[in-house]
Amino acid sequence: MTATRRLLDERRFDELSVADILSAADVARGTFYFYFASKQEVLAELVRRAIAHGHQAAEPWLTDSGDSRDAVRHGISEGARLWRAEAAVLRAIVENWRTDEQLTELWLQLMGSFTTATAERIVADGRPDPAIDDDALAATLTWLGERLYYLAAIGVEPFTDEETLVDALTYIWNSVLSARSSAIESSG
């Protein structure tokens, strides 16, 4: 896995072969296949490990009962840091999740876990709005973050500036959440 991670810093995942990984790791083919059925399984494990850190980063917003605006910014900042630290792995999954059934299932499951947590927090904050489905809103916010973090990771301006990225995502999230609160207060 360490060798694959290093190779992803140099090349795109779709350009890697199992032979490249074997050579970089200095392991025999049999050893590789004892642990992994394919290079996609290696990527899947690298992604699971990276995303575990993402769940830790989101924890303050999910559990904080204080000012959710600060917690939103903290979570987005931590997400940006995670993407910077794990750029090679996360770029690989975003670029390849539709090329392999197991990667598709994994990425949808992981993104779904962030979506579910976001929807639960929206409801817990008393922000449900009958005009829009909470799950759809949560999914939109989650996938928007994924896309912008990815664009930053591949060097697309203005998202390469982490502060700009965090400011923009924080503004969107807080605007949406505030608008939902305002709509509920005015209808109540």
Residue 81, pLDDT > 80, answer yes
Half-sphere exposure of 143 (CA within 13 A, CB side): 10
Of 5 and 123, more confident? 5
Asked if residue 123 belongs to a domain, the reply is yes
Give the predicted TM-score (pTM) of the model: 0.88
Total tally of structural domains belonging to the chain? 1
| Cβ atoms within 10 Å, residue 146 | 19
SS3 label, residue 28: coil
Q: Which helix (H) or strand (E) holds 11?
A: none
Does residue 75 belong to any structural domain of this protein? yes
CA 45 to chain centre: 15
- Would residue 20 count as lying in a domain? no
Give residue 127's pLDDT. 61
pLDDT at 181 over 70: no
- What percentage of the chain has pLDDT greater than the value 70? 88
Between 56 and 22, the more confident residue is 22
Q: Note down the domain range covering 43.
A: 39-187
Q: Looking at the domain assignment, is residue 33 inside a domain?
A: no
Kindly state the average pLDDT of the residues 119-141. 83
CB 35 within 8 A of CB 117: no
Q: For residue 76, is pLDDT > 70?
A: yes
Pure H helices in the chain: 2-10, 18-25, 29-35, 39-63, 68-85, 87-96, 101-124, 134-153, 162-187
Q: What is the CATH number of the domain that holds 168?
A: 1.10.357.10
Q: Is 21 a domain residue?
A: no
For the segment 11-21, the average pLDDT, to the nearest whole number, is 97
Residue 166 lies in a domain: yes
Q: 102 in a domain, yes or no?
A: yes
The pLDDT tens digits for 82-96 are: 999 999 999 999 999
52 or 171, higher pLDDT: 171
Please tell me the least confidently modeled range out of 36-40, 69-73, 137-141, 155-159. Answer: 69-73
Write down the pLDDT at residue 64: 65
Predicted confidence at residue 128, as pLDDT, reads 61
* pLDDT above 80 (res 66): no
Phi-psi region of 126 (alpha: psi -120 to 50; beta: other; left: phi over 0): left
Sorted by sequence, the CB contacts under 8 Å of residue 99 that are 6+ apart come out as 14
Q: Is 133 inside a domain boundary?
A: yes
Cα 56 → chain centroid:
12
Residue 179 has pLDDT above 50, yes or no: yes
